[in-house]
Chain A
Amino acid sequence: MKRRALRDGAVTLAIMFAVFIVSLVLSYLLSSGDAVSALFVFAVFLVSFLTDGYLWGFISAAVSMLIVNFAFTYPFFHFNFTLPENIVSALIFTTVALLTSTLTTQIKRTELIKREGEREKMRANLLRAVSHDLRTPLTAIYGSATTLLDNYQALSDEQICSMLRGITEDSESLLRMVENLLSVTRLDGGSVKINKMPTAVFDLFDSVIAKLNRRYPDVKISVNIPDGLLLVPMDALLIEQVLINLLENAVQHAKGFTKIELSANPEGEYAKFSVRDDGAGISPELIPELFTGRLGKGDSEGRGMGIGLSVCESIVRVHGGRITVTQLSPYGTEFSFSLEGASYELQ
């Protein structure tokens, strides 16, 4: 708030000063002050347009009126508030300031409302997709748990174990969705609270791979990072989430993959992260929909994955990057994004 006021004050001062100088030069060159009033009206307009609220517009109107009155109109270098043309110009200055400020404020407000509306719409879409995705595993958990509770004695050990396993798996998929939702809510609401810290990519990958190994003990992920120390400023927990989502996506959807690779490479001031698989690839018509959160419905395998990718997209975006997907030849898919501010030292 304070910084805004300071900025607005500086803008006002700069414009008024510039116009004052231009007026001095012009009236000297043209030997007349005819253009000066118009110049100052323009200054008042600019100030009102570029600053917030009404205050600075009015200040510039008052200052312009005084300057024009004092320096550029007869009687020169004297204030005169009785000449009708001076009163008229005072009125014009004030009106310009008032109208411009009103219009600008209104435009800003409309823009804000529009942006909020869009965010609201996005949130509603996401919520709709999520509620659907949440209901499925919840139904299975609830059903299995009540079945176990009501028919405990009638069930065979094998049946009980298989239901419990189902409950565990479904809870895990719920957990993942909730984690994604938490990230979204952290990113949402306009004020982005990301906690950027220089993070060693090794630490990041270490944590990611340890988690993936726990969830998919049979899947081997090859890791590719340069020797030495690659530091990248990031919110490590959020980027960890991005990489886990992308890797899980590959594990679950890259049909027939034999290899999944996680890599990071320093490229000047950037670090490029990528997740690559050699699976069947994504059909081209799905690619534009990939990050919108609308995919994965109705497909029990892909539950929540659409949300996962849209979360990846938002997280990378608030880090100032962009996530891209590339089809590899002859087959396979690569998701990649770059983060800025990387430093790399080979030891």
Chain B
Amino acid sequence: MNCSNKYKILIVEDDTNIRSFIATMLEAAGYQALLADSCSSGLLMFSSYNPDLTILDLGLPDRDGLELLSEVRQKSASPIIILSARSDELDKVYALDHGANDYITKPFGSAELMARVRSALRNSLPRAEEGVLSGKFELDDLLIDYDARRFFMRGEEIKLTQTEYNIIALLSEHLGKVMTYSSIIKAVWGANDIGGTKKLQVNMANIRRKLGIKPGDNKYIVNELGVGYRMQSAE
């Protein structure tokens, strides 16, 4: 087998059928799928193959998937997508705050998963070190000039307050990744800011008004109800 130039994607999922359908889906799209059915075999596969992306189910038979997440994060920044059931809202938030790049709720279709995979791989390209954003950022018809701290839409500048700009810059820095409410609040206002949620909601409302985003638009800034926000390009 010579597929060294293919992206390697590790699937850690204990259900055989789910594992095999994800593998089929990925292989059909030209990726190389690596399979693991438990936390320990997942860790082993990870260290021997060093995959470009990991799709991780949280409910594994031997240990909690969150343990795999934190062990992998100690040595690698390779993107991880969490598979979760609808009811584990808190697990989702926990996983995102502890290094997961994205999550997808079971059940999901092929289009949904492939979009997440593409987005995670695209955004794992090396980016500026945290906190020192420089240069320009472009997404669809948005443009952020990090050096001048200015924001443009379809070539026209949109006046943002400092806070609004900071939120947008943060989301752009983590393009494609869901930023939980608490991680945004922590980054923008500092840890344990009282009333942070309300401030975030107020600022998000202003940002959306300035960008002219309507409910259900699903562009630029996508809201993951009960979890957080993500910036992504319109697919």
Contact = CB atoms under 8 A, between A and B. Distances in A.
Nearest to B197: A198
A236 B226 contact: yes
A240 B225 contact: yes
A8 B120 CA distance: 58
A195 B225 CA distance: 13
Interface string B66-96: 0000000000000000000011010000000
Contacts of A204: 225
Given A182-B86, A209-B216, A236 B225 contact: yes
A229 B215 contact: no
Contacts of A198: 197-198, 201
A217 to B, nearest CB: 12
Contact of A179 (B86, B198, B214, B226): B86
A328 B224 CA distance: 34
A221 B215 CA distance: 10
Interface residues of A, number: 34
Interface residues of B, number: 24
A26 interface: no
Nearest to B204: A200
B201 A206 contact: no
A83 B191 CA distance: 72
Given A203-B225, A206-B223, A207-B223, A229 B205 contact: yes
Main SS class of interface, A = helix
A195 B205 CA distance: 23
Contact of A210 (B87, B209, B218): B218
A123 interface: no
B107 interface: yes
Main SS class of interface, B = mixed
A40 B75 CA distance: 75
A333 B136 CA distance: 51
A75 interface: no
A237 B225 contact: yes
B197 A202 contact: no
B197 A175 contact: no
A229 B202 contact: yes
Contacts of A236: 225-226
A236 B202 CA distance: 17
Name the residue in B198, B206, B215, B222 with the highest tally of chain A Cβ atoms < 10 Å from its Cβ.
B215
A198 B222 CA distance: 19
A347 B202 contact: yes
Nearest to B107: A175
Interface of B: 86-87, 89, 107, 109, 197-198, 201-202, 204-206, 208-209, 214-218, 222-226
Interface of A: 168, 171, 175, 179, 182, 186, 195, 197-200, 202-210, 212-213, 221, 223, 225, 227-229, 231, 236-237, 240, 345, 347
